[in-house]
A and B are shown apart, each in its own frame.
Chain A
Amino acid sequence: MSAPREIILSTTPADEEIADLRLGDVVYLDGLMYTAREGVYMRALEEKANIPMELPSQSAANFHCSPAARINPDGSFDMGAVTATASFRFAKWLPEWMAKTGAKLIVGKGGMTSKDYKEYFVPNGAVYLSTVGYGTGALLGRGVENVEAVHWNEELGLAQAMWVLKCNRMGPFIVASDMYGDCLFERENAKIAKNVARVYEGTRPATLKRYGESDDRTDEVI
């Protein structure tokens, strides 16, 4: 058993630093990272609100996250634990978001498909970093040196607001896509697939089917 390679990476990384990342590497981040998920995407892309940061010069790292945090009466912030939310749901907005903001690091839970990576991650020089676990919320919380700002809290609420985090060796994250558009999770799925027939041997398909098992809605489910 070999320990994974560990890398410290800036949230405004150079192209060659990204090109050097390999699937399964463990990454710690330094610099500013912002949270953006469906609320921010809809507000910026569908409602065309002005993004309240200079992107990507301030940060090229988009975290699919809502923190466990509070805004104090004096306007200061307390950040507790931080973990990611599942990213596949944001595929609808990501291509436009990346084109608009120059994001190079998409940080979240569970990754995207290799099709997503090849279609718009690779052309934008971007990779996907997965949180670990899930989730190492306390460890990641320790890596937040400061909350620099919370944008759009009034419009979107705490959970969907755009949190700007100053990261100090924040991690661990795992490199889940590379410059070829290969997908770590799909690679692992393929290894596990060999075992599936054996595990299912002798089990019985359900008597009553469901739509989804047949996509033809003129079918019956019995």
Chain B
Amino acid sequence: MIPINLIQSTAETLMDKAAIEIPQDYLDGLQEAARTEDGDLSSFVLKAMLENYEAAKEDRRAMCGDTGVPRWFVKMGNEAQVEGGMVALEAALRRATANATNGVPLRPNRVHPLWRTDHNNNVGIGAPEIEYGYEPEGAWVDLITVHKGGLFGSDYRMLFPSDGIQGIKRFYLDSLMAFGKRGLACQPAIIGIGLGGSKDICMTLGKRASTLRIVGSRNSDPEIAKMEDEFKELGNSIGMGAMGFVGKNMVIDCNIEVGYCHTGGMPMSVHAFCLSSRRAVARIHADGQVEHRTDPDWFTDYQRRETIDWEPMREAAE
């Protein structure tokens, strides 16, 4: 049984880490970009961003003034138990979000869409979002917080089988061109592409591809992994860099996730996780041990399963 106060205190630490500490995989990617960038202005921008990450850590202040919209992904082993149950867990995550907004401080970004009511704590109707995933074994709970920023850089479109790969490429490029200009997407970014699913799940897949997979990871389907490499290169061949200035670094990595869709369609979404790719993860074990990491490790074989039942032993033997 995992104590509820441990859930809340861990969640508060994660809120702080996500806002302040750039994840190592993104930092490595950006340092590589800074090394290869030869555009005068975009090179200056990347160097300033690298200094900014250092300043944030030294001062323990948020990397970016727009601290995004905090949200939670909760992954649980099949045997996990939380004191007070899932309603208590949700309350703990909402409380941690509110406390950290005042504590770090974060910008109180969350408002009512019509009345613009701001509780000054990033909590409100449907906020923070809390989404769940499960794994076949274990009594642990993974808390993952993502503070995704940006009003720009995402788009959805219903494509069809006849649009093919060339149609997918066109919509990908359209999204980069539209939101890369003037740097509205705050690139170079981790671009996530969702293919398939129903319309809402298509958006979810793309968002999770950008925020829950790290730079350098590859889809377990080797053909999709090849597309990820190709799309990264394609995005970086536009000639556009940071802030939309001439440059060669637009895409730090491109992650693609798929889900089965209607036989007549091929829905597609594109998401951009920005220069302040805020994510932090902790695993809380049943014995109260807490392990921090930055890789959400969300897309396991179980999450991508195609079969009715989960029979890992049989699959491993094949």
Please list the residues of chain A having a beta carbon within 8 angstroms of any beta carbon in chain B: 1-4, 24, 26, 65-70, 78, 80-86, 109-111, 130, 132-142, 157-160, 172, 174, 185, 188-189, 191-192, 194-196, 199-200, 202-208, 210
Contact = CB atoms under 8 A, between A and B. Distances in A.
B41 A205 contact: no
Contact of B63 (A4, A85, A138): A138
Contact of B108 (A1, A110, A157, A172): A157
B186 interface: yes
Given A159-B108, A204-B164, A68 B186 contact: no
A130 B181 CA distance: 14
B114 interface: no
Contacts of B107: 66-69, 158-159
Contacts of B43: 1
A199 B181 CA distance: 15
B246 A191 contact: yes
Interface of B: 19, 38, 40-41, 43-45, 48-49, 51-53, 55-56, 59, 61-67, 102, 104-109, 111, 116, 118, 120, 151-152, 157-160, 162-164, 166-167, 169-171, 173, 177, 181-184, 186, 234, 237-240, 242-246, 274-276
Given A174-B41, A192-B238, A207-B159, A138 B56 contact: yes
A81 B62 contact: yes
Given A195-B238, A208-B158, A141 B105 contact: no
B186 A185 contact: no
7 contacts: A24-B41, A68-B66, A80-B62, A135-B276, A137-B276, A206-B171, A207-B162
Contacts of A2: 40
A66 B120 CA distance: 12
A109 B111 CA distance: 21
A203 B173 contact: yes
A121 B134 CA distance: 55
B88 to A, nearest CB: 27
Contact of B184 (A82, A86, A189, A194): A86
Contacts of B64: 81, 83, 133-135, 137-138
Contact of A137 (B56, B157, B182, B237): B56
A102 B60 CA distance: 36
B44 A4 contact: yes
Contacts of B118: 157-160
A81 B173 contact: no
A139 B41 contact: no
A185 B62 contact: no
Contacts of A70: 102, 105
A60 to B, nearest CB: 22
Contacts of B169: 202-204
A135 B67 CA distance: 10
Contacts of A67: 65, 107
Nearest to B171: A206
Contacts of B163: 204, 206-207
Contact of B66 (A3, A83, A202): A83
A141 B65 contact: yes
Contact of B173 (A65, A174, A200): A200
Nearest to B20: A138
B237 A199 contact: yes
B45 A132 contact: yes
A134 B275 contact: yes
